[in-house]
Structure 1
Amino acid sequence: MLTEQQIHDALSQFKLSQLNTDLVSAKAIKKTEVEGNKVSLSLKFGFPLGDYQQQLEQEVSEYLKSQFPDDEVTIKTSWRVEAHAHPAKVQAMPDIKNIIAVASGKGGVGKSTTSVNLALALSHLGANVGILDADIYGPSIPIMLGLQGKHPESTDKKTILPVENHGLQSMSIGYLVKPEQAMVWRGPMASGALQQLINDTQWRDLDYLIIDLPPGTGDIQLTMAQKIPVTAAVVVTTPQDIALADARKAVTMFNKVSVPVLGVVENMAMHTCSNCGHQEHIFGAGGGDKLAQEIGVELLGSLPLALSIREQADSGEPTVATDPSSAESHLYLDIAQRIAAKLSLQEKEFRADFPTITIDNN
């Protein structure tokens, strides 16, 4: 007769591409029942599955049937995003399970566009997502979300409500100042404003808060890493050598402040001519993969240099929101799921589960 151990041994050879590990090592197997030739398996994951859930059930079922052809297999999957520990041990924030910083050492690599579309992709997969524009001097999130000119509301005159569109909760200094107003502030003032933006916003039950960091490794980045409970980081780069050099600095910064880097996203990797279909690596080829290997992290994915991505972001209708079935959107969705899956393997934050204990002498 088939045993649970045989099933677990078989599943220890089934590797998920998103997790880059097998189901047993990922502790995804929650319940196994064997009755005669009938097998019932319950799997639970710590990242949003979205439309992949049904496909995953089919893949696991077909795999087990190939291993045990005489048995009937039933698969049930579920997922729940957990809060994960932040290495700096900063006080966890209420209503935010995980904070993911999206960074680049250099400006102009499409980091904000990537941040917005990755946030939308996580939301499309089923997670509750917010995005914070940490670029005090050049906020762009209001434009990309079609919210330019909008102002946040306050219910208590002390905190503000996030501004919402496309299913995302968002906050930016761009909501609080006029579009043409320049923020002529020194570093400490900008850092203080950033802390207020994140702490004084009434975020609501977020699985993930994506923080779009400005380029560089200065005051804003250090404030984010040392004062805010950042769970992990993602680095965006283009394949060209000068962008890769600056991306290495961003990774070094996160290593120094003990924030794990989940991987590298290569943007503008390739351009496809709209007339003839010829593909060309305008900024070079293989740079993102080379960087990922050098610093010992995963290349999460490569995104094309596409006119539609730029046009949709500028019009306030980002790619994943406007055309979720497009090839570009599928790339964002795949990268977002890889990010969430890798994060799910990190140590969980148990302190958020403990109730507050008070002592009353009466």
Structure 2
Amino acid sequence: MREAVLESLRSVNDPELHRDLVSLGMIERIDVTPHAPSGHAVSVKVNLTTPACPLKATIERDVRAAVMTVPGVETVNVEFGAQVRMPTTPPLPGVKNVLLVGSGKGGVGKSSVAVNIACALAQSGASVGLMDADVYGPSVAHMLGQGQAKLVGNAERKMVPIEAHGIRFISMANLSPAGQALVWRGPMLHSAIQQFLKDAAWGNLDYLIVDLPPGTGDVQLSLTQSVQVTGAVIVTTPQDVALIDAARAIDMFRKASVPILGIIENMSYFVAPDTGTVYDLFGRGGAAKLGNHPLLGEVPLDPSARQDADNGVPAVIAHPETQAARALIQIAENLAGRVSVQTLSELPMAQLV
């Protein structure tokens, strides 16, 4: 019967990858045991390509329905594990995927989005690192409540990332005195980025998220030339002045052969807390003007999210019930799905089966 169950699962496709679970190597285990009075109980363990899979419920429903078509099956139990895939060549030792979060201009909430995505992925069960590559204006440490912490080295003379809210992070804010301006030219920026990437004890990570500085300058160039990047995410606000610069960021990544995993529209709308009326303060739907790229989600303008960032506890942890936090959690799941699609499209078939 086990063979019949396995054959039935060939009819179940991953909704995002559009291929069946068996050929994708996602079926880890099938157990068949007698079930009174004359049938069998079947237990199937499915290894998802990310613990943040946004379509887990759909896969469970389809697996259950397919196995129940096998004669003699009376009950079906579906378990889930997760194994984040990586490109053929890992970008860094122990790191499966490097994801860049960029924007064409400042003031669009890019760092806040990066911090919340990182924490949401970690809450789903993934191992996540966050690298603050905005050397001139680092804000990640403050948003994670670690502005006073200092980076230290280990016995191998590597920087040890600071841990907060389930993620590991590195920021220039934890290396330089508070309030001190860094007056550095390009070569020094390049050196700092190299140290953050390759002279840090990141350990084993499913995702290393890199919060880029605004624009299309030295840091972006240094990163794309130094490490294999799985893809980039563009954060923008809806108004045209932000979209113009976001389009430039997209063009930069295109020239650097970095795939665009999707667009996030931040401050997309505002919901009045007293009346529930929705206001499009900066317009809405502007991300659709950026070409044929997936929209990962729209994040409303929410004063509590700003307060959470100032208090050092990301919104997805401090107030997960708010509209902004729910949107960010959904964006993290959508991004994880896009990463799975991107990495699996690069792998030869022999590595999937």
TM-score of the superposed pair, with normalisation by structure 1: 0.83
Does 2:311 align with 1:315?
A: yes
Where does residue 138 of structure 1 map in the other structure?
Answer: 137
Cα separation, 1, equivalents of 2:310 and 2:83: 33
Specify the alignment match of 1:175 in structure 2. 174
Q: Does the Cα contact within 8 Å between 1:4 and 1:34 map onto a contact in 2?
A: no
Give deviations 1:2-52, integer Å, cap 9, x for gaps: 95587346424xx63xx2635449826426688977655442221114897
CA distance, structure 2, for counterparts of residue 259 and residue 28 of structure 1: 27
Bigger drift between 272-281 and 323-332 goes to 323-332
Counterparts of 1:268 and 1:237, CA distance in 2: 9
Counterpart position of 1:216: 215
CA contact (8 A) 1:269 1:305 kept: yes
Offset at 1:325? 3.9
Q: Distance in 2 between matches of 1:273 and 1:20?
A: 39
Closer/same/farther in 2, CA of residues 300 and 25 from structure 1, 3 Å limit: farther
Superposed, 1:1-362 pairs within 5 Å as 3=4, 7-8=8-9, 10-12=11-13, 16=15, 19=16, 21=18, 23-24=20-21, 27=24, 29-30=26-27, 40-49=43-52, 55=57, 58-61=60-63, 63-64=65-66, 71-72=73-74, 73-85=76-88, 92-156=91-155, 158-291=157-290, 294=291, 296-347=292-343
Q: Secondary structure at the match of 1:334?
A: helix
Q: CA 1:132/1:327 → structure 2, altered by over 3 Å: closer, same or farther?
A: same
1:313 and 1:242 map into 2 onto residues whose CA distance is 25
Among the aligned pairs, what percent are the same residue? 38
Supply the AA of the counterpart residue of 1:82. Answer: R
Tell me if the contact between 1:28 and 1:45 (Cα under 8 Å) persists in the aligned partners: no
> Letter of the aligned partner of 2:128 in structure 1?
V
Q: Secondary structure at the match of 1:177?
A: coil
Distance 2:106 2:328 in 1: 20
**Cα gap change, 1:67/1:308 in structure 2, threshold over 3 Å: closer, same or farther?**
farther
1:241 counterpart letter in structure 2: D
The CA distance in 2 between the partners of 1:117 and 1:235, in whole Å, is: 15
Separation of aligned partners in 2, 1:99 and 1:143? 22
Structure 1 residues without counterparts, runs of 5 or longer: 351-362
CA distance in 2, matches of 1:208, 1:39: 34
Rounded to whole Å, the distance in 2 between the matches of 1:228 and 1:58 is 36
What is the root-mean-square deviation in Å for CA atoms of aligned residues? Answer: 3.0
Whole-angstrom distance in 1 between the partners of 2:127 and 2:77: 29
TM-score by length of 2: 0.85
TM-superposed CA distance for 1:321, in Å, is 2.0
Contact 1:84 1:344 in 2 (8 A): no
**Displacement, 1:206?**
1.2
Tell me how far 1:203 sits from its aligned partner.
0.9
CA shift in 2, pair 1:63/1:4, >3 Å: closer
Q: Assess if the C-alpha contact under 8 Å between 1:57 and 1:76 holds in 2.
A: no
* Amino acid of the structure 2 residue aligned with 1:327: Q
Structure 1, 323-332 or 225-234: larger mean CA deviation: 323-332
Return the offset for 1:322: 1.2
> 1:143–1:33: structure 2 CA closer, same or farther, 3 Å change rule?
closer
- Per-residue CA deviations over 1:206-244 (Å, capped at 9, x if unaligned) read 111110000111111010101123221111111111111
Q: Distance in 1 between matches of 2:92 and 2:338?
A: 21
Rounded to whole Å, the distance in 1 between the matches of 2:201 and 2:67 is: 49
CA spacing shift, 1:218–1:57, aligned 2, 3 Å: closer
Cα displacement string for residues 185-224 of structure 1 (whole angstroms, at most 9, x for unaligned residues): 1122212212112221111211111100001111110101
Secondary structure at 2:111 match in 1: helix
DSSP-derived class of the 2:224 partner: helix
